[in-house]
């Protein structure tokens, strides 16, 4: 039985390889497992697994509203921020519409758009592997309904600065929704990278996506949230899957929010390792003519171009899984110190053999 003709050209979503006993640095996961308090909360919630969860995760919404200082009606919770990304496309786009996004950026944007029958207008990153916001403005057409700005950007780890984002938002038409995907925002240490939630509270066409998958270490639990004007939240709710966020997911998210010092410690651990690995990589002649960009996320980007797949395969043969983006580069998740050392040994060996 044939699927929709337009779906035949949609590429399969790239699922990171999970090789037994390998060092997994290819999925941007937090390397540390959930704390005992989170595991206990999950176990308590599992006892009521025979009951449906709250439709809109009201308890978590209230907890987020308190912590973020925003009204509850400005928050939608979903099965990871990626599900909310899909919901916004479904809610605002139809046949004949288009979305604008940078490229390379998060793989899901063009996939979700094409699944919804929506055109995708991709804009190449600039020479520093960042969003080219002026070019993205030029790409907006009367058919554009959504613009995605991934900040920090996945997979490059680069970030848009406060002034340039304000200038961009000032020029985006009011009828175009700008989605600031801030899945890695908690890893940002630069004061010049903006807090999207503050921007969303000032504008009627800005939505912010965040997740518990990365800094909070709940990638396997699946929960994220959107902060946006109430009309946008209501639109996202209209296309949500009923009961998409389980009791377990809600309990886990509340538990990590209740232990902020532990979350900060884990983030600081990752950031320290990120800077250490970046310093080592900048001393290796892996990317002749190209700098290894500083990262604002929990991963690093090697702009290896046509050598990306070969480098990732080399690392895999040495028991380290990294993520290749053929023709563009390689993304390396920041892991535990010993995992990062295993990657660095593989990278150094690759350079040595190439001489």
Residues 306 and 338 in one domain: yes
Is residue 107 included in any domain, yes or no? yes
Element (H, E) at 145: strand 144-150
The answer to the question of residue 171 being in a domain is yes
- Positive or negative: CA dihedral 90, 93, 94, 99: negative
Residues 216 and 70 in one domain: yes
Whether residue 47 is found in the same domain as residue 107: yes
Same domain, 63 and 128: yes
Looking at the predicted structure, is the pLDDT value of residue 354 above 90?
no
What's the rounded mean pLDDT across residues 324-336?
A: 97
Task: Tokens for 10, please give them.
Answer: 């949609």
Q: How confident is the model at residue 59 (pLDDT cuts 50, 70, 90)?
A: very high
User: Does 285 share its domain with 237?
Assistant: no
pLDDT over 80 at 317, yes or no: yes
- What is the distance, to the nearest Å, from the Cα of residue 22 to the centroid of all Cα atoms in its chain? 23
Q: Which two tokens stand for residue 67?
A: 């912590």
**CA 179 – CA 147 distance, rounded (Å):** 6
Q: Are residue 236 and residue 277 in the same domain, yes or no?
A: no
What secondary structure, in 3-state letters, does 298-315 show? CEEEECCHHHHHHHHHHH
Q: Are residue 273 and residue 225 in the same domain, yes or no?
A: no
Q: How many domains does the chain have?
A: 2
| Within-domain flag for 322 | yes
Q: Residue 290 pLDDT > 80, yes or no?
A: no
Residues 237 and 117 in one domain: yes
Per the domain annotation, does 9 fall within a domain? no
Predicted model pTM: 0.96
Residue 67 within a domain: yes
Tokens 């899984």 correspond to what residue? 321
In this structure, are residues 182 and 149 in contact, taking their beta carbons and an 8 Å threshold? Answer: no
Of 237, 257, 277, the residue at which a domain comes to its end is 257
Percent of the residues in the chain that have a pLDDT greater than 90, as a whole number: 90
The angle, 0 to 180 degrees and rounded to 10, between the axes of the packed helices 337-354 and 308-317 is 120
Order of strands, edge to edge, in the sheet holding 323-325? 299-302, 329-333, 323-325
Q: Decide if 6 is inside a domain.
A: no
Query: Could you say which of 202, 222, 257 is where a domain stops?
Result: 257
Supply the CATH number for residue 302's domain.
Answer: 3.90.1150.10
Same-domain check for residues 235 and 282:
no
Could you tell me if 119 and 233 lie in one domain?
A: yes
- Has residue 226 got a pLDDT over 90? yes
Instruction: Retrieve residue 127's tokens.
Output: 């020479």
Is residue 219 located within the same domain as residue 285?
Answer: no
Polymer length of the chain: 355
State residue 122's pLDDT score: 98
Residue 115 burial by Cβ neighbours in a 10 Å radius (0-12, 13-18, 19+): middle
Is residue 98 classed as helix, strand or coil in its secondary structure?
strand
- Domain containing 313: what range? 15-32+261-354
Domain boundary (257, 290, 305) is at 257
pLDDT of 18 over the 80 cut: no
Establish if 2 belongs to a structural domain: no
Report how far residue 269's alpha carbon sits from residue 217's, in angstroms, rounded to the nearest whole number: 13
Q: 50 lies in a domain?
A: yes
Cα dist from 105 to 128, 144, 241, whole Å: 14, 18, 26
Q: For residue range 181-216, what is the model confidence (pLDDT) as tens digits?
A: 999 999 999 999 999 999 999 999 999 999 999 999
| 132/98 same-domain check | yes
Which CATH number fits the domain that encloses residue 120? 3.40.640.10
38-50 confidence digits (pLDDT tens): 999 999 999 999 9
């Amino acid at each position: 039985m044939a699927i929709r003709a337009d779906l035949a050209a949609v590429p399969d979503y790239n699922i990171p390889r999970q090789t037994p006993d390998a060092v997994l640095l290819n999925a941007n996961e937090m390397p540390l497992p959930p704390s005992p308090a989170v595991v206990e909360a999950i176990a308590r919630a599992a006892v009521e697994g025979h009951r449906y969860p709250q439709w809109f995760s009201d308890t978590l919404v209230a907890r987020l509203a308190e912590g973020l200082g925003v009204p509850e009606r400005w928050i939608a919770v979903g099965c990871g921020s990626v599900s909310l990304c899909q919901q916004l496309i479904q809610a605002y786009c139809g046949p004949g519409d288009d979305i604008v996004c940078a490229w390379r950026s998060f793989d899901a944007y063009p996939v979700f758009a094409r699944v919804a029958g929506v055109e995708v207008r991709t804009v190449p990153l600039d020479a520093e592997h960042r969003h080219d916001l002026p070019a993205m403005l030029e790409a907006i057409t009367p058919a554009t309904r959504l613009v995605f700005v991934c900040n920090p950007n996945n997979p490059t780890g680069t970030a848009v600065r406060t002034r340039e984002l304000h200038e961009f938002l000032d020029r985006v038409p009011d009828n175009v929704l700008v989605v600031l995907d801030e899945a890695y925002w908690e890893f940002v240490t630069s004061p010049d990278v903006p807090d999207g939630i503050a921007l969303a509270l000032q504008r009627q066409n800005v939505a912010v996506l965040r997740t518990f998958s990365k800094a909070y270490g709940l990638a396997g639990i699946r929960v994220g949230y959107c902060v946006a004007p109430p009309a946008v939240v209501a639109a996202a709710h209209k296309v949500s899957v009923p009961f998409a966020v389980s009791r377990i997911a809600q309990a886990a998210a509340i538990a990590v929010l209740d232990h902020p010092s532990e979350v900060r410690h884990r983030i600081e651990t990752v950031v320290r390792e990120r800077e250490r690995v970046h310093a080592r990589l900048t001393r290796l002649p892996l990317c002749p003519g190209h700098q290894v960009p500083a990262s604002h996320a929990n991963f690093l980007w090697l702009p290896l171009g046509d050598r990306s797949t070969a480098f990732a395969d080399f690392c895999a043969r040495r028991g380290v899984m990294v993520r290749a983006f053929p023709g563009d580069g390689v993304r390396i998740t920041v892991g535990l110190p010993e995992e990062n050392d295993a990657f660095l040994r593989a990278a150094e060996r690759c350079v040595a053999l190439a001489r």
